[in-house]
Structure 1
Amino acid sequence: MRRDTFLKSMVALAAVGSLPLSAHAAVAMKMMLPANPGGGWDTTGRALGKALQDAGVASSVTYDNKGGAAGAIGLAQFVNGSKGDANALMVMGAVMLGGIITGKPPVNLSQATPIARLTSEYNVFVLPTNSQFKTMADVVAQLKKDPGSVKWGGGSRGSTEHIAAAMIARAVGVDPAKINYVAFRGGGEATAAILGGNVTVGGSGYSEFAEYITAGKMKPIGVTSGQRLAGLDIPTLKEQGIDVEIGNWRGVYGAPGITADQRKALVAAVEKAVKSKAWAEAMEKNGWTPAWLAGDAFGSFVDQEFASLRDTMVKSGMV
């Protein structure tokens, strides 16, 4: 093929968006954030967008927050509105799986394209500073006395903090079906409720509460990890006699209907982004643990997690 003919073909392909991401120096990308501003998905998506630009694979990134139903509303918009778009990404994670299990929405993750798992994080339970309780033992004692009087605040139904609350109840001999869980559409709303003393105890990833814990506006009383988080003096649930351990993770999916080459290019772009300085700074700032897993391996992991979470939720009386 003559060079000028080749160049004209490349221009034509680029014009209709058929070139894989790797063929572009940098492209305008779109990020679906299926939650309201201020939460973990929002923070993750915006940090990844900055990293994609820092790595030189995105010229710009636009964000679309669409909260509700544990991400199912955003997932539906992404699935129905981004078909074949090789430059679109959606942030998701364990919370979305839980929401799909409990809510049974008309869309599911199998309709989108798994790209990569990015981070893992454990949940921290906190008390408002004006709380009458001081420890998780105090909360458990009240839970045993009157389950409905303890208001657990966190993300959507089926979120990891919701599952953890049900698991705590079950572990201490309380019917999980009797817990009073207050679901919020985003981390910002949940944080405001905790700071205002409108819930008894709040749960989320440490990164969402870090600044308030450091400032003394929230008191951490337990973490869902097997061991204490590095550098933090927060007791695990297990060391307090509550046999509960559950982790959270976040990743990104691509649009439905993209080609194998487009998927490969997206994986490469995200992998380049997570090696950038901007991403390293976000990891350190938020206390995230790297958990890179890409392509088909990530898709298999999601399937396994879905089955495992469903089993846990059934045993905890949530399904």
Structure 2
Amino acid sequence: MKKAMTIVAAAAFALAGAGPALAELKRLEITAPAAAGGGYDQNARIMQQILQKEGLASGVQVTNQPGAGGTIGLANYVNNKKRTPTLMTGGLALVGAIITNKSTVTLDDTYPLARLSADYQPIVVAADSPYKTLEDLIAKFKADPGSISWGGSGPGSTDHMLYGLLAKAAGVEPSKINYVVLTSGGEMLSGVMGGHVTVGTGGYSELSAQINTGKVRALAISSPERIPGIDIPTFREKGYDVDLVNWRAVFAPKDLKAEEKQELEQAIDKMVKTEDWKAAVKQRGWSDVYMPAAEFGPFVKKEHARAESLFKELGLLK
């Protein structure tokens, strides 16, 4: 009898130590400040599926609010004072858009909840490009900056940031970059392969098929160290102090109570540890860069400061 009572007591103690079950977030809304199909939207819809499957939320709705690099969706999110649980996806590109668009609403008006997923960016040239290595490209760039055209999405985008960081590391004024704005990843690839621009970039997940089939040649990638399974040298390996992660994240309203923030933090923490989340990230060729709120808030401020400083050097800000 004593032994049985001891087992019961031990079980009760273990259950008590496990902490209370997470409350279900009812009628959760997730705003993706971009059109359907992109990284912000995909992260929102993966969250929708897993949070519901795990019983962490119910009635989850995703709404898309594209425009102005995400700043329209951000402004609507911040100014909409709904009391139902709400979240918003965003990322480094949104940080850039806030600065270049001089948005009066910023990520300081939100609660940075967690960094989730990311793409590292290779730079690529055409298969028949005379620039066989990063050293070849940089030598020509330093000798005649205007002769190298760098294709990417809008001014202040992650593409533009990467080129600016590389120019700085190579000792070339970022404002001398011959930057060519291309409207889509498809247009960028066509431009590189057709010889209309010298260099292109984008997330590895977007470019991997063309790299692996030899349609374009990757010269370096923006990860801080080699990515397992990807045979592309890093900029750091090549002697250039450059790394950039095109991260995507989730944000919450700024004015939540402490217990509400904690509840959301715990739900996201549980979500990113599921096999479904890991599989979704792997399937899309993303990197899992989860960072909880305590670290993520200061990280966002540092990223904003880095982007703002770089944009001044690129001539995007006065």
Q: TM-score, normalised by structure 1?
A: 0.77
Report the structure number with the largest CA radius of gyration: 2
CA distance in 2, matches of 1:170, 1:254: 35
Q: Say if 2:174 and 2:313, in contact at 8 Å, map to a contact too.
A: no
Deviations 1:61-81 (A, max 9, x none): 433333444322221222223
Task: Choose the corresponding residue for 1:87, options 61, 64, 85.
Answer: 85
SS at match of 2:261: helix
Deviations 1:221-267 (A, max 9, x none): 21122322111110112333433233332211013543333322222
**Compared with structure 1, are the counterparts of its residues 303 and 31 closer, same or farther at alpha carbon in structure 2 (3 Å cutoff)?**
same
SS at match of 2:122: strand
SS at match of 1:168: helix
Stretches of structure 1 that go unaligned for 5 or more consecutive residues are 1-20
Q: Say if 1:86 and 1:266, in contact at 8 Å, map to a contact too.
A: no
Task: Choose the corresponding residue for 1:286, options 267, 284, 287.
Answer: 284
Name the residue aligned to 1:143.
141
Give the percent of matched residue pairs that are identical in Structure 1 and Structure 2: 38
**Compared with structure 1, are the counterparts of its residues 68 and 130 closer, same or farther at alpha carbon in structure 2 (3 Å cutoff)?**
farther
Give the aligned length: 294
Deviations 1:122-143 (A, max 9, x none): 3211234565644434433443
Aligned amino acid, residue 115 of structure 2: R
**Compared with structure 1, are the counterparts of its residues 167 and 304 closer, same or farther at alpha carbon in structure 2 (3 Å cutoff)?**
closer
Aligned amino acid, residue 159 of structure 1: S
CA distance in 2, matches of 1:154, 1:39: 16
Stretches of structure 2 that go unaligned for 5 or more consecutive residues are 1-20
Q: Which residues of 2 match residues 146-157 of structure 1 at below 5 A?
A: 146-157=144-155
CA distance in 1, matches of 2:39, 2:127: 22
Name the residue aligned to 2:61.
62
Deviations 1:260-299 (A, max 9, x none): 3332222222222212222110222234443333334422
Deviation at 1:104, TM superposition (A): 1.8
Q: Say if 1:120 and 1:288, in contact at 8 Å, map to a contact too.
A: yes
Which segment is superposed worse, 280-289 or 109-118?
280-289
Q: TM-score, normalised by structure 2?
A: 0.78
Name the residue aligned to 2:273.
275
Q: Which has the higher contact order (CA 8 A, sep 6+)?
A: 1
Deviations 1:82-140 (A, max 9, x none): x2344322112223223323332121112222211223543211234565644434433
